[in-house]
Amino acid sequence: MTIRTALLVVLVACSAVFITRWRRTVAARRADAAGAARPWPSVVQIAIGFVTDFFDTLGIGSFATTTTAYKLLRVVPDERLVGTMLIGHSLPVVVQALIFLVVVPVDPVVLVLLVGVSILGSWMGAGFASRLPRRPIQIGMGIGLFAAAVFMLMSQLEMFPGAGTALTLTTGKLLIALVANFTLGALLMLGIGHYAPSLILFSLLGMDPRAAFPIMMSSGGLMAMVGSLQFMKAGRFDTRAALGLTLGGIPGVLVAGLLVRSLPLDVLRWVVVAVVVYAAAMMLRSALAERRVELQEAIT
């Protein structure tokens, strides 16, 4: 069995474990709620999943766009945003990983090492992030959204480094990538997406940008599933919204990855930059408002 095939098997096996754990968590919630209705998502929640994962597959990313949609439509409380996105986007990203692992070549040893450290980073980051109170989450996600907007703007202005052609990394460059991937795995647990930073990193290291996709998607899927376990344990997610992301996201990935060959995205990306900046400002404004309330309560 090749390394690539083994990784495909690991992704499928982890997905089965993840689904089982998710079902048990939801069942326990229903039992605690004493006869509550099944948590089926709304049409809006499913539509958000379809749109965000459709564009994630095409290179825009899903965390910034999902956070923006949730914030503007008030779908999920701020303290449950990260857990909801991690759980809901896990399986759609796994589908992306399966597609890119099959069609895009990359050094399998480099692939496995980078995926491994990202999982370690996500596990350590999730243990911390799943216990954070509301305001630090708002601040972290606000900063993350601003960073995402900056990366999108750099892409639009063609400020990314020139694309390389390598499908592997030398020892020195691999060490840099390992440290960076560990860090990005931890930051993902704060709702800070890793797609744009990863593309910049691999381009700086001289890799073919196409080779970044199986690395990013495999890392993203496994990181999200591993980190999700911590958020499930803490109960820090919205059941209906997370299920909506999955039910809408998987068809979105399949349509984008298997059917859409080209799409004019320039105008859309400018719109996304503007909306993400607005959402970041609103997130930080919410954190500031809560801080003011805390100070007033302390004074009185």
pLDDT band at 155 (very low <50, low <70, confident <90, very high): low
* Under 8 Å between Cβ of 201 and 117: no
Q: Mean pLDDT highest for which of 71-80, 183-192, 194-203? A: 71-80
Phi, psi of 236 (to 5 degrees): -95, 65
* 274-289 average pLDDT score: 68
More confidently predicted of 13 and 154:
13
**Over pLDDT 70: what percentage of the chain?**
75
Q: Is this prediction's pTM over 0.95?
A: no
pLDDT tens string 101-122: 888 888 888 889 999 998 888 8
* Under 8 Å between Cβ of 82 and 190: yes
Lowest-confidence segment of 83-87, 91-95, 147-151 by average pLDDT: 147-151
C-alpha distance from residue 72 to each of 7, 154, 164, 279 (Å):
37, 24, 38, 7
More confidently predicted of 160 and 68:
68
The average confidence (pLDDT) of the chain is 80
Lowest-confidence segment of 60-74, 170-184, 190-204, 213-227 by average pLDDT: 190-204
pLDDT band at 21 (very low <50, low <70, confident <90, very high): very high
